[in-house]
Amino acid sequence: MSKHIAVVGLGSMGGAMAAQLVEAGWQVGGFDPSPAARAAAREAGVAAVDTLEALAGTPYVVLSLPSAAVVEASLPVLLASPGTLAVVDTTTSQPDTSAACAARAAEQGVAFVDAPVSGGRTGAAAGRLSAFVGGEEDAVEAARPVLDALTGGQFRHLGGPGSGNVVKLLNNVLAAVNLVAVGEALAVARAYGVDPAAAAEGISGASGASRASSAMYPDWVLSGSYDSGFSLGLMARDAALAVETAALRGETPRLLSAASERWQEALAALGPAADFSEIARTVAPTLTR
């Protein structure tokens, strides 16, 4: 099996994945339009190049990009030279784009799977991400060496092309709902003189528990650190995409839509670069420092 791989997109997640692949013994090339991102990747042992074209034909490719449009534009460049076996797209993208990319890659005998990931920088650096995988059975098998390297085997094949992005968007919009709901609930607790940290701990041991109550608010909001490493702009985008994806199949999820609107309000107030845990500043300002 070839151990040559290219990582396209060397930001927070892509850079961490690339560095971990180097440590795992892969020969890793990489590209990012940011000179600073390329320089940081080189310090981690990645052979970062100055043009995407230089990576065409690499046997394995990992995409970690900001949007479906960038994925769609990058794929033809990467497939312009023969030699690529599998493309693993870890971008939180649009399901229809993933399906179209899979079809285009298959025409050239290349496997393409959508495999958006969860686990943050820590999981990426440890090779212990979770991945929501969509693709044909043979494409997933072709991509398995990369999926195993990124997740330690902890990935779930959910269905055909695009399925991974459907479930990842639903995962993220549920997290978005929980962050709004828990913030509002803890603000009510404070209004009654109850310590929000104690309330969060109590809720987290009962039926109202969620990652928002057990970890996100205690670790990032009540501590005042706001350092999850995931931006408010990306979460607002993902929540909106989830609602748009539902509408394409005639679904009208009213609670998810209402939560998405709260994220758009926070985006307008705080800007895209704010940490996503800072949603608390707009939905529960009495909790924030």
Inter-residue contact 159 to 95 (CB < 8 Å): no
Inter-residue contact 134 to 160 (CB < 8 Å): yes
Inter-residue contact 143 to 135 (CB < 8 Å): yes
Q: Where are the beta strands (DSSP E) in 90-207?
A: 111-114, 117-118, 130-134, 155-159
Looking at the DSSP bridge assignments, the partners of residue 8 are: 31, 63
Inter-residue contact 90 to 127 (CB < 8 Å): no
Spell out a b/e string for 15-28, using b for 16 or more CB atoms within 10 Å of the CB, else e: bbbbbbbbeeebbb
Neighbours of 57 (CB within 10 A): 15
93 Rama class: left (phi>0) / alpha (psi -120 to 50) / beta: beta
Inter-residue contact 72 to 101 (CB < 8 Å): yes
3 catalytic? Reply is no
Measured between alpha carbons, how far is 257 from 280 in angstroms, rounded to an integer? 18
Look at residue 231 and give its three-state secondary structure. Answer: strand
State the SS3 of 87-121.
EEECCCCCHHHHHHHHHHHHHCCCEEEECCEECHH
List the catalytic residue out of 38, 168, 237, 281.
168
Distance of alpha carbon 76 from its chain centroid, rounded?
A: 22
- The owner of tokens 């940011």 is 34
- For the annotated catalytic residues, the residue numbers are 168
